[in-house]
Structure 1
């Protein structure tokens, strides 16, 4: 099967249309492709109605997937592993070293909290919603 860059671009534009992310220039580009292809015109109409019907649902689902992917990244796993280790060692050391143990627990909880805030705030699909 031949990998056609023009067909790939049309597919990308149709996907952006479905998600409601199509810019004005991209809409004109898609319109130029559609002038020569009546099947593409029908696909554009179908995708436009899907976009209107979904109301941004697909964009929210993709944002949720980005959060899940970010939470499985090696950096986040390392941060949370270090935070969990600090909390666990701090709890165990609390009895033997009353000054060091609580500090380790607080530091571990701080690392976990900052990691969670960093990932969820940066990737949060709902942070820009105004009520």
Structure 2
């Protein structure tokens, strides 16, 4: 079933129902799939009830999970490890090389700030909310 493109598409559409993101054209597409499949029709009704029950809660939870996954990605871990190493090495080198140490600390802190902003701004589910 995982290799069947139609089954993958139906699964994707069902997930979009649950998140409340199903558009009109996608609803019509799903209706075409469900015409002769009572099991799929029951799944559609169950997902619709589930979406009505959860509202936008599921989308917010999924967005929070995306941020958590991004925080654990190899690139972010490498960036932050390198930044931490620069800060510590710069701090230790400050006494021995006053011209090099502060630059390393600033570069490390800059890399930490860049990494944090890049991950949290791109993945933030609440950045588009207008009050």
TM-score, length-scaled by structure 2: 0.88
1:7 aligns with 2:7: yes
Alignment of 1:100-115 (within 5 A): 100-115=100-115
3-state DSSP class of the match of 2:53? helix
3-state DSSP class of the match of 1:7? helix
3-state DSSP class of the match of 2:83? helix
CA distance in 2, matches of 1:79, 1:102: 19
Aligned length: 131
Partner of residue 94, structure 2:
94
Deviations 1:35-57 (A, max 9, x none): 22233222222211111111122
Q: Is 2:2–2:8's contact at 8 Å kept on the other side of the alignment?
A: no
Q: 1:98 to 1:5 in 2, by over 3 A?
A: closer
Deviations 1:38-89 (A, max 9, x none): 3322222221111111112221122122112222222212211111111001
Greater Cα shift, 105-114 or 35-44: 35-44
3-state DSSP class of the match of 1:126? coil
Partner of residue 40, structure 1:
40
Which ranges of structure 1 fall in alignment gaps of 5 or more residues?
Answer: none
Partner of residue 119, structure 1:
119
3-state DSSP class of the match of 1:21? coil
Alignment of 1:24-63 (within 5 A): 24-63=24-63
Shift of 1:114: 0.6
CA distance in 2, matches of 1:7, 1:90: 55
CA distance in 1, matches of 2:2, 2:49: 30
Shift of 1:129: 1.3
3-state DSSP class of the match of 2:15? helix
Q: 1:36 to 1:104 in 2, by over 3 A?
A: same
